[in-house]
Amino acid sequence: MAIVVKGADVASKIKEDIRERLNILAQKGKAPKLVMMAVGDDPANASYERGIVKVFTDLGIANEKVVLDEGISQEEFDEAFLKVNNDPAVTGILVFRPLPKPLSTEFAAKNIDPHKDIDCMGYYNQACLAMGRKDCFYPCTAEAVIKFLDHEGIDTAYKNVVVIGRSVVVGRPLVSMLISRNATVTCCHTKTADLTDRISNADIIVTAAGSAGLLKGEMLKNAKADCFCIDVGINMRADGKGICGDIDFESVEPLAGKITTVPGGVGSVTSTLLAEHVVRGAEY
């Protein structure tokens, strides 16, 4: 039976640090502020947004959401983005992605202030991430996975890590971050043939494919007995009641060494790291 690692335990230590830094900023007359930008009302973002608002309210950090009409033109979106980007009161910008087609974040990625780019959307922070630099913003969800490993005292050097997912928001940046920590990384996705073979001998498995129940217990037959399974996936349940992850918890939990849940896992740490990044933006 696996040890369930809870996101609340990981997030609490980060919040302690944030509160201390907020006090220092307040003494200097500075206040961090997050602006979330969304085009239309995508239900897929609702759970993430609720988690963000809950964490920011708890910490007393200002936040607001700018919702743009779904029929907005690219030029109008870019103008709205620049207005937020140029606002000196804003210390962090989060654009909910992907944008509805045919809209693109290319202009925003090129022009976002690197010190406000709290989720590594911009090309500057993406380049720093690829180079293994630490003086930049990493994508919050990918960084949350690293925080779970640190919380459990896991040194990834010499470890075999399988990342299932290749998105620019989680999978790809996480691979870069793990390589920088001397892990041996295999990147898989929903088109990978024989996933069971790919995860054999894995020390750590991270699911971030957005496919409910993708990882099943039978696939862990050759993985390490103490394998740490970290679920990053967020999917709507088939009955429409709540969310679930990419891991079939009931079948995987008896075979894993450690495991996270959805909800109650990576999501709360992601929202807390977003707050930490907004505070860091104010410090800059």
- Report pLDDT for 149: 98
Q: pLDDT grade, residue 190 (50/70/90)?
A: confident
Q: 31-116 sits in which CATH class?
A: alpha beta
- Report pLDDT for 236: 83
- Report pLDDT for 240: 76
Kindly report the backbone phi and psi dihedral angles of residue 199, in degrees, each rounded to the nearest multiple of 5, phi listed first.
Answer: -95, 5
Report residue 209 as tokens. 């494919």
Q: pLDDT grade, residue 98 (50/70/90)?
A: confident
Q: Where in the chain is CATH 3.40.50.720?
A: 140-267
What average pLDDT does the segment 159-175 reach?
A: 95
Comparing 18-22, 167-171, 249-253, which segment has the lowest mean pLDDT?
167-171
What average pLDDT does the segment 256-281 reach?
A: 96
- Higher pLDDT among residues 86 and 239, named by residue: 86
Q: Is the pLDDT of residue 182 over 80?
A: yes
User: Is the C-alpha dihedral spanning 148, 150, 152, 157 positive or negative?
Assistant: positive
CA dist., res. 178 & res. 159, Å (int): 10
Looking at the domain that runs over 140-267, which CATH code has it been given? 3.40.50.720
The residue type of 209 is A
Average pLDDT score, the chain: 94
Please write the tens of the pLDDT for every residue from 42-69. Answer: 776 787 898 899 999 999 999 999 999 9
CA dist., res. 147 & res. 232, Å (int): 13
- Report pLDDT for 235: 86
In the chain, pLDDT over 90 holds for what percent of residues? 85
CA dist., res. 125 & res. 138, Å (int): 7
Do the beta carbons of residue 262 and residue 244 sit within 8 Å? yes
> Residue 260: which of 271, 251, 247 has the closest Cα?
247
Q: Where in the chain is CATH 3.40.50.10860?
A: 31-116
What average pLDDT does the segment 171-184 reach?
A: 96
Q: pLDDT grade, residue 222 (50/70/90)?
A: confident
In the chain, pLDDT over 70 holds for what percent of residues? 100
**E strands, 108-165, in order:** 160-164
Report residue 55 as tokens. 């964490």
- Report pLDDT for 164: 97
What average pLDDT does the segment 229-233 reach?
A: 96
Beta carbons within 8 Å of 283's beta carbon, 6+ residues apart: 21, 25
Report residue 279 as tokens. 């505070």
- Report pLDDT for 237: 84
Report residue 210 as tokens. 């957005």
- Report pLDDT for 9: 95
- Report pLDDT for 221: 85
- Report pLDDT for 249: 96
Q: Is the pLDDT of residue 153 over 90?
A: yes
Q: pLDDT grade, residue 74 (50/70/90)?
A: very high
How much is the pTM? Answer: 0.93
Q: Is the pLDDT of residue 38 over 80?
A: yes
Distances (CA, A) of 72 to 38, 77, 236, 265: 11, 7, 27, 35
CB atoms within 10 A of CB 27: 8
Instruction: Reduce the DSSP state of residue 235 to 3 states and report it.
Output: strand
- Report pLDDT for 111: 98
- Report pLDDT for 234: 86
